[in-house]
């Protein structure tokens, strides 16, 4: 099995990679619980749950068992013409845990297309009411995915540069931080007065790709209230924050004003099978009801509501809502609190951030998103058996909920040691 890394180079093109300067990709041959094993037998703790997906641990036995049962029953069926119990049951289970204004579940197959569908829902919502609205508002530094609509509302330039001339119209506002709330609100009022705003899209409370940046919940609530009062749709991108990461089922649970539309993916299917969902409130759905066929939502992905992925998602929700996992989440939060107290005054640490099981530490140095220091840190972590993937000068932890105390301590210790090399 050796030498996978060399065979990789022949035909494969990896995402988010400059192959000329970074030709190597490490081959992982096995993952179980929180442990990744490479082709040479080295083990690494997966401290970011493989991009926040495998929250119940890799190859979780319960999830695999439930998925396997479904595989023997019904594999794939077109969801435009048929329905099936896994989709029905998943919609029922999701509606139970989603913010209580959510009432309809629409399927996609990745986070970007969940956002894409949310954007299209908002545009067509007004179109169907004979109103033309074309501009979105989004936060600076937000990340919502890589398809054109999702890319347009994202604010991270390394992803968007070559495509800027082809994006939909988006106005950007800073995140409210407690001291600028009034100014941000004024800016929103101005934008609403001067443009035909269709919607506001946001990562609630925590901007993941921007470096796990947190912001002010009251400020966000005020913005959402203003949009609501002006009949402008709000879209919460919970692709990263959903399913317990923030300590509640959804980050929107911390905010009084609920979004009209919510985008979900990543932990939705526990890292086993790709799937995504765009949920919405009843009044969005109602705007698509008509005797006119063309007022329906003509957006579809071939694998919409794939029964196997639905079964996986149902099993994931069972685990998420179990006492064991909820207890684990609280234990991780406590553990992060202590580490935070211990590390936050370290001379190399500029600031720390914590929300739920997400802990981030910003180094007191400047570094490019994919710069040399970031590479050096990544190498150091891997050499010490921990997979952590710094975002620029931010090191963050977001482990599976099933991480052991001992594994967490090893992650903390490795981060502390890494501060000596920066």
Task: Identify the CA nearest to 126 among candidates 267, 39, 281, 232.
Answer: 232
- Give min distance, CB of 154 to ligand PLP, in A: 8
What's the min distance (Å) between Cβ of 144 and ligand PLP? Answer: 5
118: left (phi over 0), alpha (psi -120 to 50) or beta: alpha
Q: Determine how many CB atoms are found less than 10 A away from the CB of residue 174.
A: 14
Interface residues with ligand PLP (CB under 6 A) are 110-112, 115, 143-145, 203, 208, 237, 239-240, 265
Q: Residue 201: is it exposed, middle or buried by C-beta count within 10 angstroms (0-12/13-18/19+)?
A: buried
The residue among 126 and 243 lying less far from ligand PLP, judged by its C-beta, is 243
The DSSP bridge pattern shows strands 276-281 and 102-108 to be antiparallel
Q: Say how far apart CA 155 and CA 145 lie, in whole Å.
A: 10
Q: How far is the CB of 141 from ligand PLP (least distance, A)?
A: 12
Closer to ligand PLP at the Cβ: 109 or 260? 109
Estimate to the nearest angstrom the gap between the alpha carbon of 101 and the chain centroid.
21
Which two structure tokens, joined as six digits, stand for 88?
Answer: 């029905």
Q: How far, in Å, are 60, 63, 88, 372 from residue 269 at the CA level?
A: 11, 9, 16, 34
| Distance of closest approach, residue 348 Cβ to ligand PLP, in angstroms | 27
Three-state DSSP class for residue 199: strand
| 266: nearest Cα among 248, 249, 241, 247 | 241
- Complex with ligand PLP: residue 272 or 287, whichever CB lies closer: 272
Closest residue to ligand PLP: CB criterion: 111
Sheet holding 349-355, edge to edge: 349-355, 358-363, 394-397
Report, in Å, the least distance between residue 183 CB and ligand PLP.
25
d(CA 154, CA 148): 10
CB atoms within 10 A of CB 5: 15
Nearer to ligand PLP, 349 or 360 (CB): 360
Residue with Cβ nearer ligand PLP (204 or 380)? 204
Residue that has been written with the tokens 């309809």 in this structure: 104
Q: Least distance in Å: CB of 92 to ligand PLP?
A: 24
CA distance 140 to 187: 13
The minimum distance between CB 133 and ligand PLP, in angstroms, equals 22
CB nearer to ligand PLP: pick between 239 and 361: 239
Of 275, 278, 286, 233, nearest to 258 by C-alpha is 233
Name which of 315 and 358 has its Cβ closer to ligand PLP: 358
Cβ 398 to ligand PLP shortest distance, Å: 11
Residues 235, 212: Cα–Cα separation, whole Å: 19
Is the CB of 223 or the CB of 287 nearer to ligand PLP?
223
Q: How far is the CB of 316 from ligand PLP (least distance, A)?
A: 16
* First CA to last CA distance, the chain: 35
Closer Cβ to ligand PLP, 245 or 336, answer by number: 245
């Amino acid at each position: 099995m050796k030498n996978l890394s060399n065979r990789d180079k022949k035909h494969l093109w990896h995402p988010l990679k400059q192959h000329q300067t970074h030709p190597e990709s490490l081959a992982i041959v096995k993952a179980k619980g929180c442990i990744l094993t490479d082709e040479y037998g080295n083990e690494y703790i997966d401290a970011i749950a493989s991009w926040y997906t495998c929250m119940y641990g890799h190859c979780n036995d319960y999830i695999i068992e439930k998925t396997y049962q479904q595989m023997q029953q019904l594999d794939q069926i077109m969801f435009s013409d048929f329905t099936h119990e896994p989709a029905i049951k998943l919609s029922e289970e999701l509606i139970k845990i989603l913010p209580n204004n959510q009432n309809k579940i629409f399927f996609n197959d990745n986070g970007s297309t969940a956002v894409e569908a949310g954007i299209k829902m908002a545009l067509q919502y007004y179109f169907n009411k004979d109103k033309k609205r074309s501009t979105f508002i989004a936060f600076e530094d937000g990340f919502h995915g890589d398809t054109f609509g999702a890319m347009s509302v994202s604010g991270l330039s390394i992803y968007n540069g070559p495509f800027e001339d082809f994006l939909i119209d988006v106005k950007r506002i800073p995140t409210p931080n407690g001291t600028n709330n009034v100014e941000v609100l004024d800016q929103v009022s101005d934008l609403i007065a001067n443009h035909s705003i269709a919607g506001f899209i946001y990562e609630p409370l925590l901007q993941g790709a921007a470096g796990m940046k947190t912001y002010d919940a009251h400020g966000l609530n005020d913005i959402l209230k203003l949009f609501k009062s002006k009949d402008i749709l709000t879209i919460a991108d919970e692709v990263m924050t959903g399913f317990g990461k923030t300590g509640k089922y959804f980050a929107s649970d911390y905010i009084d004003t609920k979004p009209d539309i919510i985008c979900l993916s990543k932990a939705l299917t526990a890292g086993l099978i790709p799937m995504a969902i765009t949920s919405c409130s009843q009044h969005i759905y109602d705007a698509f009801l008509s005797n006119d066929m063309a007022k329906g939502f003509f957006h579809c992905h071939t694998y919409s509501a794939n029964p196997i992925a639905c079964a996986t998602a149902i099993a994931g929700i069972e685990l998420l809502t179990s006492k064991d996992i909820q207890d684990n989440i609280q234990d991780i939060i406590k553990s992060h609190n202590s580490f935070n107290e211990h590390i936050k005054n370290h001379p190399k640490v500029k600031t720390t951030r914590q929300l739920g099981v997400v802990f981030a530490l910003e180094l007191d140095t400047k570094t490019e998103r994919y710069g040399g220091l970031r590479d050096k840190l990544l190498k150091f972590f891997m050499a010490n058996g921990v997979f952590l993937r710094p975002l620029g000068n931010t090191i963050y932890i977001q482990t599976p909920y099933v991480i052991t105390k001992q594994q967490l301590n090893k992650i903390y210790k490795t981060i502390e040691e890494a501060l000596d090399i920066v």
